[in-house]
Amino acid sequence: MKKSVTVGLILVIIVGIGVSTLILNSNKERATGTYATISPDELSKMLQNKDFLLVNVHIPYQGEIPGTDLFIPYNKIDESLDKLPDKSAKIVVYCMSGRMSAIAASRLAELGYTNIIDLEGGMIAWKQKGYPLLNS
């Protein structure tokens, strides 16, 4: 009897944790806004006929992808909106690994920017694909 009660309690706890995690994740998605992601190969193709603003958001500065227009630290996005074009302009953000740029992309989406794109894997993925970096 004790064994089945213990197993039952463990199952209730596991299910409860799972439900809590789902609720937290869905709230996070709603709070962060939406943005697209692209691969290094897709960005390379886009750079051939560049019609977007390319922003390095990695701190500290550790180099950049050729064609970068701005360096704005990911945690200073709110303070740098005057450097950005209108909210419907196409803006591609990147960092070293993708973590900081995901935060920046999410914040820009929260602020009402509607055409935000994040480079998956950042400069690390870019370099692994054989593309050059400047000043690294």
Q: Among all residues, which ones are annotated catalytic?
A: 95
CA dist 49 and 94 (Å) reads 18
DSSP output for 36-92: EEE-HHHHHHHHHT--SEEEE--SS---B-TT--EE--GGGGGGGGGGS--TTS-EE
